[in-house]
Amino acid sequence: MIRRLIPHPLLSFALLLFWLVLTSFSVGNLLLGGVIALFAGTMMAKLQPATPRLRRVILLPKLFGIVFYDIIRSNLAVSWLIITRGRRGTRHSGFVPLDLELKDPTALALLSMIITATPGSAWIEYSADEDHLVVHVFDLIDEDLWRAQIKGRYESLLMEIFE
């Protein structure tokens, strides 16, 4: 019964929290935000999305920590490359093809966001049939190093969390 009334409790709660952050806290806003959040949750259930299964939530902060650190590091690296005009023209960019073992759609979405949000690497193409991914790298020195970085740093952790 409660499942039918609140099909996506986490989503509804996040929406309500967002509503209260954007407005100011009052009973009226709490009620209005709550109704909207419940309505959005019901609509979401009608769309029937694949429910993501989190197996080891405890590792999520570790992932966010790693990504946070990498974004700061690559921000500095890319700014430096732009200031020095790519180490005076010696910078090379290129495409790095790699095969993924990750299958879970939510985990793949998260991986694509991590790779694109980090300056210096961009997700160009992914084929789900062949599990084949092409990433464009801004400062390509060693292709295998990038493969090892994406597979070892992100993919293995995402697989542990989602699969």
Partner 1 sequence: MTDFATIPLWIILPIALFLVIGSTLTLLGAIGLVRLKSFYDRIHAPTLGTSWGTAGIVIASMLFGSYIEGRAVIHEIALGLFITITTPVTLILLGRAALHRDRLEKADHLPEELRSLPEARDRAASD
* Residues 71 and 118 sit within 8 Å (Cβ to Cβ): yes
Q: Which of 53, 85, 87, 103 binds partner 1 (CB under 8 A)?
A: 85
Smallest distance from the beta carbon of 5 to partner 1, in angstroms?
A: 27
Q: Does 22 bind partner 1 (CB under 8 A)?
A: yes
Q: Does 113 bind partner 1 (CB under 8 A)?
A: yes
> Which residue lies nearer to partner 1 by CB, 104 or 139?
139
Residue 104 structure tokens: 């879970």
Residue whose token pair is 């062949």 = 130
> Which residue lies nearer to partner 1 by CB, 5 or 109?
109
Smallest distance from the beta carbon of 95 to partner 1, in angstroms?
A: 6
CA distances from 149 to 22, 23, 91 (A): 38, 42, 19
The CA-to-CA distance between both ends of the chain, in Å, stands at: 29
Q: Does 129 bind partner 1 (CB under 8 A)?
A: yes
Smallest distance from the beta carbon of 70 to partner 1, in angstroms?
A: 10
Q: Which of 45, 66, 134, 159 binds partner 1 (CB under 8 A)?
A: 134
Beta bridge partners of 122: 136
Q: Is 132 helix (H, G, I), strand (E, B) or coil?
A: strand
Continuous segment of H or E residues that includes residue 122: strand 121-127
> Which residue lies nearer to partner 1 by CB, 55 or 84?
84
